[in-house]
Structure formats: C-alpha cells, structure tokens
Amino acid sequence: MTESSPVRTTRPRQVRPRAEGWTQRVDAEGKPLLQFTAPKRGMPPVHLADLTPEQRVEKVKELGLPGFRAKQVEKHYFQHYTSDAAAMTDLPASGREELVAGLLPRLLTEVRRLETDRGDTIKFLWRLHDGALVESVLMRYPGRITLCVSSQAGCGMNCPFCATGQAGLTRNMSAAEIVEQVVRANAAIRAGELGPAEHADERVTNIVFMGMGEPLANYNRVMQAVRTMVDKDHGLGMSARGVTVSTVGLVPAINKLAAEDIPVTFALSLHAPDDHLRDEMIPINSRWKVDEALDAARGYFEKTGRRVSIEYALIKDMNDHAWRADLLATKLNERGRGWVHVNPIPLNPTPGSVWTASDKDVQREFVRRLNEAGIPTTLRDTRGKEIDGACGQLVATEEDRAVAASAAG
C-alpha cells in the first residue's frame, strides 16, 4: 500500500513510548481515563464577574450601598482594569473598602512571568486562591493582541502528548477566574508591559480558550465568562468573533454551544483524521469518533454561519503523513465547501518526550495538499516556543521546582 493511500491500516506508533517511563492512565475497563467531573475542591470567593448584572446590584445592596454603585465598580474593573479600592475615588470613602473587598476579591496572584526577547509575548503563571496553578499567554501581532486563557486547573482529557493532560484535573475555574486573566492582561498592556503600543487604549482583541483545560468540560462557567467578555454594557465589550472556544470533541457540548446566541469562533482540535490514530492521541475519541466530531463542527457552522477552525498539531512521523492530509481534506469536503479552515501548528514538545514537531518540508507538503483540495489552510506559528510554550509546561516547571525545593529542605 502506498504512503498516499487513505486506507493504510498499519498500527501507529504508541503515542508516548514506554521507554519514557510513561504509561497511559486507564479506567476500570482498561480505556484511557477521562475525568469529566472535577474533584471536590473549594471554589474561589464569589466575584463581580461570576454574577449577572442584576445579581451585582443585589450584592451591592447586601453590602449596604445603593444598587447603582454596581455600575461604577463594573466600570473600574472592566474599563480601568483595577481592583484597587484606593483608585475608586468616585465611590464614597465610607464603605468603599468593604464594597470592593466584597465584589472584587483577589483571584489570581502572579507567580512568574516569562517574556520573549522581542517583548511581544508574555506568559503568566498564576496561583489561584487554593494554590492551584494556571497559565495564560499574551501575544502581540500586527493589528491585534491575543490572549490564550486557561479554563480549568489541569485537564481531565488525558491527551498523552500534552503536559497539562499528564497531571489530571485539579478543578474547574470559576467564570471570574477566567475573566480575570483578561483584565490582568489588559492592565499589563495599559502599563506598557507588552512593548510599544500601536495606539492608545490598546487591549486584548482576541481570546483563545487554548490554555490549560478543556473549555467545554467546564461549560456553564466558560459561557458565563464569554458572556461577560462580549457584554458591551456590563462587561469587557469584546467582539464575539474575536473569542475562540476550542474543544477536543465533546459532541453534546458542541451542539449546545451551537444553540447559544453568541457567535463565537469555534475550533475543533482534531489532530488526526482517522479513528485508528485519534483513539490513541485524543482519548475522548473513545466516546465520540472523528466523524461525529466533524458532523457536530459542521452543525455549528450551519447554526451560526461562522466558519469553523480545525486545529491540527503536526507531530513528526505521528500524524503528519501526506495520506492523512488527503484523508482530512476528503472528510471535510464530504461535508460541504466553505465551512471550515484548517490550522496546522508544529507541535511544541513536552520536555523529555521523543515527540517533536514535523520537519519543515513535511509541514509545507501537508498544507499544500489541503489547499490544493480546496480547504483553506494556514500554518500557524509556534509563538511562545522559546518560553515553554506548550500548554502546561510552565506549571510543570514550577511544580518540579517546588518538589525539588521540598526535597532539598
């Protein structure tokens, strides 16, 4: 059988070789372990961004002030990016501290920050109130600023090539913990920390839910965060199109997302067009197969009219074969034209893993084949590679340090 045949059935390599000392965590039936429910852990204190505008008014009244003060606090938080009571001089001095403490409790403490030499990328490591660690990455591009946010501390999807997946799920993040990543990034931009501004009033224009966690496994809180991001009167007033919600393929949640009245950009992290390989690479594929995930993605396009993105990490000798590009193009074209865009991205390897990015000529050939088949395809850059860019790596490094420190102590 030739390399270009779409029906080659030789067994793929094991996704993480046992020689690395790694074994896939499995459930009682021997299938890769999937954690849909977070272990019971204390959620953070309730914050303004967890509440609807009506609930915020009620909360202000509970704290002993007239309801209209809620709007003032919203303005400080969503437009001035501050949680500092001292800066809110339009609030009455008496009761101000209590009001701000009650509405804007501290959610994220910056532990570390890594920056590229050019200063156009910052990776933040945040500690949550219970000590859990998460990351966000802020990237400046010509004409836009993108923030990659985390939606869970850890992740229960157990993808073997992903640093976050190795550690399992610690807990879901609250809506406010998700929104706070954006507010803190905006504060950093306003303070000039992301290099020279292109214009005054710069802020995050694009959000991608591609940090730690599977966003659709924390559906309600992620949607509350998205509503706050796009709310022009009581939130950050961002464009819904600028918000990308991604998933490894939780089909019922994709259908639910399609039924929401918020036209966010939807991205399916596919990484393999055939079940044979995807079963190993993306354990959720044992629940919902490639065709089901693609049907749901197509359904999203039909419901919203928004073109869907297919994310595809190119991993050397794993999923980067020419025949897989052809098979992907066939499966996408079978579902119509003009509904989808493919974003291959060379893998940012997990330290210690033998898996690495595809060679440049292989990347080019993969993209060429898809484009030739009529599927718009753009190779994405691996911004952040020089600062431990793969999701979960900064956390892994920090935890290694903590372990080393406690061993030394």
**In the complex with ligand SF4, which residue's Cβ is closer, 205 or 286?**
286
| Helix, strand or coil, per DSSP, at residue 26 | strand
Is 135 a known active-site residue?
Answer: yes
DSSP letters, 105-155, are ----EEEEEEE-TTSSEEEEEEE-TTS-EEEEEEEEETTEEEEE--SEEE-
**In the complex with ligand SF4, which residue's Cβ is closer, 154 or 235?**
154
**In the complex with ligand SF4, which residue's Cβ is closer, 172 or 186?**
172
The least distance separating ligand SF4 from the CB of residue 50, rounded to whole angstroms, comes to: 23
The least distance separating ligand SF4 from the CB of residue 83, rounded to whole angstroms, comes to: 28
Contact 353, 161 (CB under 8 A): yes
Structure tokens at 324: 């897989």
The least distance separating ligand SF4 from the CB of residue 175, rounded to whole angstroms, comes to: 19
Residue identified by tokens 């590009």 is: 325
User: Which is the catalytic residue, given 74, 135, 177, 311?
Assistant: 135
Distances (CA, A) of 48 to 41, 99, 144, 262, 314: 21, 11, 27, 21, 40
The least distance separating ligand SF4 from the CB of residue 284, rounded to whole angstroms, comes to: 8
The least distance separating ligand SF4 from the CB of residue 216, rounded to whole angstroms, comes to: 10
Structure tokens at 298: 């197509």
Rounded CA-CA distance 171/153 in Å is 5
The least distance separating ligand SF4 from the CB of residue 155, rounded to whole angstroms, comes to: 3
**In the complex with ligand SF4, which residue's Cβ is closer, 148 or 194?**
148
Is 155 a known active-site residue?
Answer: no
The least distance separating ligand SF4 from the CB of residue 214, rounded to whole angstroms, comes to: 4
Contact 266, 308 (CB under 8 A): yes
User: Which is the catalytic residue, given 202, 302, 391, 399?
Assistant: 391
The residue with its CB nearest to ligand SF4 is 165
Closest CA to 217 of 151, 283, 164: 151
Closest CA to 123 of 38, 188, 199, 175: 188
**In the complex with ligand SF4, which residue's Cβ is closer, 122 or 212?**
212
Q: What are phi and psi of 237, to 5 degrees?
A: 65, 35
**In the complex with ligand SF4, which residue's Cβ is closer, 108 or 248?**
248
Residue identified by tokens 């499995």 is: 26
**In the complex with ligand SF4, which residue's Cβ is closer, 165 or 235?**
165
Contact 376, 342 (CB under 8 A): yes
Closest CA to 369 of 292, 306, 314, 298: 314
| Helix, strand or coil, per DSSP, at residue 314 | strand
Q: Which residues bind ligand SF4 (CB under 6 A)?
A: 155, 157, 159, 162, 164-165, 212-214, 248, 391
Q: What are phi and psi of 166, to 5 degrees?
A: -70, -30
**In the complex with ligand SF4, which residue's Cβ is closer, 132 or 189?**
132
Distances (CA, A) of 310 to 6, 372, 406: 19, 17, 42
Using the 8-state DSSP alphabet, how is residue 293 labeled?
H
The least distance separating ligand SF4 from the CB of residue 136, rounded to whole angstroms, comes to: 13
Rounded CA-CA distance 266/167 in Å is 26
Instruction: Tell me which residues are annotated as active site.
Output: 135, 391
